[in-house]
Homo-oligomer: A and B are copies of this chain.
Amino acid sequence: MKFSVTVTLKKDVLDPQGKVVENTLKNMGMTDLKSIRQGKHFEIEVNENNITEAEKKVDDMCKKLLVNLIIEDYKINKIL
């Protein structure tokens, strides 16, 4: 069973990497750019056919390693 996990910085947390990308794009002439924020993306495949169990396992991985819950939010989606 396959899931995608998107990890983003919380709204009020500074995103220096995103800021650099934003400035670079603006310097390249993309003046319509309002804001850009960068995050992480994971594609996780688990050996588990029960969807509730599988999602719990992915959630566990996020909490234990992938996500810093103090400054980051995350969202898990099932991939068909």
Tell whether A24 is near chain B: CB-to-CB under 8 Å. yes
- Asked whether, in the complex, the Cβ of A21 is within 8 Å of the Cβ of B57, the reply is no
**Docked CA distance A65–B64 (Å):** 33
- Asked whether, in the complex, the Cβ of B41 is within 8 Å of the Cβ of A57, the reply is no
Q: Which of B4, B36, B42, B65 contacts A42 (CB 8 A)?
A: B36
- Asked whether, in the complex, the Cβ of A36 is within 8 Å of the Cβ of B25, the reply is no
Q: In residues 29-72 of chain A, which contact B (Cβ within 8 Å)?
A: 30, 32-48, 57, 60-61, 64-66
Q: Which B residues touch A39, using CB under 8 A?
A: 40-43
Interface residues of A (CB under 8 A from B): 4, 6-8, 18, 21, 24-25, 28, 30, 32-48, 57, 60-61, 64-66
